[in-house]
Amino acid sequence: MRKCVQTNDWNVAEPAFKAVRNELTVLGKLVLRGTRLVIPRKLHKQALNLAHKGHQGIIKTKQRLRTKLWWPVIDREAEQKCKSCHSCQLVGKPLSPERNFLHNHCKTLRLICLDFFLRVNICWWLLTILVDFLK
Ligand SMILES: [Zn+2]
């Protein structure tokens, strides 16, 4: 790729690189697209694994990659990585009706009373939460 940019000969380059050839520059041994580093195919998996750390889901994984790196199918590979990961699927899953209700109303909830009773000898406990909705 570096040679294509330096010689401006795009006959052997992949179409995806040709499409952005005006945005590519060479800096020493590095190829940049704008300010993003174009990395070789053999490093894609490693970059995906690093961006995927913490299982933040598709959007966050793509954001992490896009800040520093570029390759032609970066979005598709990030999506495939997260879609094949169970933990990432849970991050992107819509809230359950109960959690969604609390999420929508948490700003209007007001805690009135919180009481906790523990009976050690019998080993049972009671937690009472009394809330009210603000208008
Ligand atoms: Zn994941």
Contact present, 131 and 112 (Cβ < 8 Å): yes
pLDDT of amino acid 20: 94
pLDDT of amino acid 64: 94
Q: How far is the CA of 85 from the centre of ligand 1 (A)?
A: 5
Instruction: Please check whether residues 39 and 83 belong to one and the same domain.
Output: yes
CA distance 54 to 32: 27
Q: How far is the CA of 11 from the centre of ligand 1 (A)?
A: 38
Domain count, the chain: 2
DSSP class of residue 117 equals E
pLDDT of amino acid 33: 95
Helix (DSSP H) and strand (DSSP E) numbers for the chain: 7, 6
Q: How far is the CA of 104 from the centre of ligand 1 (A)?
A: 27
Print the domain residue range for 127: 97-133
Question: For residue 5, what is the enclosing H or E element?
Answer: helix 2-7
pLDDT tens sequence for the chain (135 residues):
889 999 999 998 899 999 999 999 999 999 999 999 999 999 999 999 999 998 988 899 999 999 999 999 999 999 999 999 988 877 666 556 666 666 666 667 776 777 877 776 777 777 787 777 776
Instruction: Please check whether residues 65 and 115 belong to one and the same domain.
Output: no
Paired tokens of 123? 């080993």
DSSP class of residue 110 equals E
pLDDT of amino acid 93: 61
pLDDT of amino acid 89: 79
Instruction: Please check whether residues 120 and 83 belong to one and the same domain.
Output: no
Instruction: Please check whether residues 88 and 102 belong to one and the same domain.
Output: no
With H, G, I as helix, E, B as strand and everything else as coil, classify residue 43.
Answer: helix
